[in-house]
Amino acid sequence: MMKDRLFGAGVALFLVITATIALHAQSSREAREDELPAVALQPVPTLAPIIERVSPAVVNIATRGSVEVQGQGNPLFEDPFFRRFFDVPEQFGPRERQFQAAGSGVIVDAENGYIVTNAHVVDNADEITVTMRDNREIKAEVVGSDPASDVALLKTEANDLTEIPLADSTEARVGDFVVAIGNPFGLQHTVTSGIISALGRSGISPAGPQSSYEDFIQTDASINPGNSGGALVNLRGELVGINSAIFTRTGGNIGIGFAIPSAMVNNVMEQLIEFGEVRRGLLGVQIGNLTPDLTEPLGLDITEGALVTQVQAGSAADEAGIEAGDVIVSANGKQIGDANELRNVIGLQRVGDEVQLELIHDGKRRRITAELGELEQSEPVVAQELHEGLAGAEFADIDENSPVYQGAAGVMVTAIAPGSPAFLSGLRANDVITHVNRQPISNLNELREAAEGANALVLALQRGDSNLLIPIR
């Protein structure tokens, strides 16, 4: 009996001590909280909910393929007859080299299995494997690719996919917070954050004429090799851009990355789905930037716009009444600051679309409507058939939308084989041939006609800011 009383008294004492300690702890905690600033009591900001929602839509893309490489650079080694006659080993001629590459992609349509990535990620790919967030590996096929905008569209038959909705990138502002998601250096689903540093960047792509349409979003969110094709997402969890390029002197991120805006991605994607290619409308003008040294001679009181330097006969511009010397200051309600901005606006339009233009003509503002025509492709040219001295060169039309040379009309030298006759004559990649034997040319067909039957050629060309004459014998 005595033991029971002692046990009960001990329990009661324990409860009293425990309650006292708890009360003291609560009082101490309340006292400390009273001393803390109000911000310390708020929930900690986090991007985790957004990342958790959109990450499953960002995928890893692995490609396998082959490219042709030259053996010794001498064009004679490319001739099968020469190699057979002189018993030249096969390794001296063209051969295929297998490659593997990796990048990122974004699921934009879960129901149809559409994945957007960069064109350069899947270039020359024979096999494409997509790895999902849940580690599923599936095959994908290329629906279409547009090197001019560096956008490609893939399709997969997988189920249970997650998509990211597209934002209206035209509403993006400098200073908006963004998140970059991708697979840099093979580190899958790496997330970095930053802000939009600038809008409308151009002249970034090293591909030159192969990437003609540039309206990049610049961001300081870390983008590295392997991020290409990944997502740039706003704080609403919407896709504001596709990561595409970086500016670097070391090969890694230095805080300057570039993404293709979602408005351009969506336009290209719709055409790739419908046609398998992008069919851009043609206005039919050669344009250049309106520089301060031109405004006074032209009697203009404006400093921005695209100066029309040439109008193609019978083109949409010609039929709408546009003339050389006019300055286009607005297209479809968008103010035009320079030639590149006009290229981007026209480059997003299809054949047959109507474009509302505002321009300065003879000092007066005019508003006109132009129905865009279709870009006519010239027949391919075999350089050696034009002239033996051109062997080793590859040519392509240069149209009004190419940013390589402002206002230049002519034929682009797209590639030169080292050691070839064309190379030894002085031709280089990205040269623009404007005249052949003093005859102006604007496309491959005119190049063919001007060179036909000529024993020797004198090519007038533009290389950067220089004008050159190159004899071809």
Domain of 418, CATH number, reads 2.30.42.10
Specify if 146 maps to a domain: yes
Instruction: Check whether residue 465 and residue 426 sit in a common domain.
Output: yes
Instruction: Check whether residue 438 and residue 457 sit in a common domain.
Output: yes
Instruction: Check whether residue 173 and residue 268 sit in a common domain.
Output: yes
Q: What is the CATH number of the domain that holds 150?
A: 2.40.10.120
Convert 68-83 into a string of H (helix), E (strand) and C (coil): EECCCCCHHHHCHHHH
Closest CA to 198 of 140, 255, 249: 255
Specify if 12 maps to a domain: no
Instruction: Check whether residue 199 and residue 265 sit in a common domain.
Output: yes
* Annotation says 402 is catalytic: no
> Of 104, 120, 315, 399, which one is the catalytic site residue?
120
Mean pLDDT within 277-291: 82
Instruction: Point out the domain boundary residue: 217, 242, 275.
Output: 275
pLDDT tier, 250 (very low <50, low <70, confident <90, very high otherwise)? low
> Of 104, 145, 146, 150, which one is the catalytic site residue?
150
Instruction: Check whether residue 141 and residue 174 sit in a common domain.
Output: no
Q: How many domains does the chain have?
A: 4
> Of 197, 205, 228, 262, which one is the catalytic site residue?
228
Three-state SS at 195: strand
Per DSSP, the residues of 395-430 read EEEE-TT--SSTT--EEEEEEE-TTSHHHHHT--TT
pLDDT at 11 (0 to 100): 47
Mean pLDDT within 324-340: 86
* Annotation says 425 is catalytic: no
Closest CA to 459 of 387, 354, 398, 402: 387
* Contacts of 41 by beta carbon, 8 Å cutoff, 6+ apart: 33
- pTM for this one? 0.67
What is the spatial distance between Cα 412 and Cα 433, in angstroms, rounded to a whole number?
6
pLDDT at 106 (0 to 100): 93
pLDDT at 399 over 80: no
Instruction: Point out the domain boundary residue: 328, 343, 374.
Output: 374
Instruction: Check whether residue 355 and residue 413 sit in a common domain.
Output: no
Specify if 335 maps to a domain: yes
Residue scoring higher pLDDT (327 or 71): 327
Instruction: Check whether residue 345 and residue 392 sit in a common domain.
Output: no
Q: What is the CATH number of the domain that holds 266?
A: 2.40.10.10
Instruction: Check whether residue 184 and residue 141 sit in a common domain.
Output: no
What is the spatial distance between Cα 260 and Cα 240, in angstroms, rounded to a whole number?
8
* Annotation says 120 is catalytic: yes
Closest CA to 118 of 148, 76, 85, 89: 148
What the block records as the tokens of 269 is 């994607």
Q: Which domain holds residue 228?
A: 169-275
Specify if 331 maps to a domain: yes
Specify if 11 maps to a domain: no
Instruction: Point out the domain boundary residue: 275, 290, 316.
Output: 275
Mean pLDDT within 316-328: 88
Give 196-233 pLDDT, tens digit per residue. 999 988 777 654 433 467 888 999 888 888 888 888 99
Instruction: Check whether residue 55 and residue 132 sit in a common domain.
Output: yes
Instruction: Check whether residue 55 and residue 147 sit in a common domain.
Output: yes
Asked if 236 and 167 count as a contact pair (C-beta separation under 8 A), the reply is: yes
Give 333-362 pLDDT, tens digit per residue. 888 888 888 888 888 888 888 899 998 888
Instruction: Check whether residue 151 and residue 175 sit in a common domain.
Output: no
Specify if 230 maps to a domain: yes
Specify if 40 maps to a domain: no
Specify if 270 maps to a domain: yes
pLDDT at 208 (0 to 100): 47
Instruction: Check whether residue 265 and residue 293 sit in a common domain.
Output: no
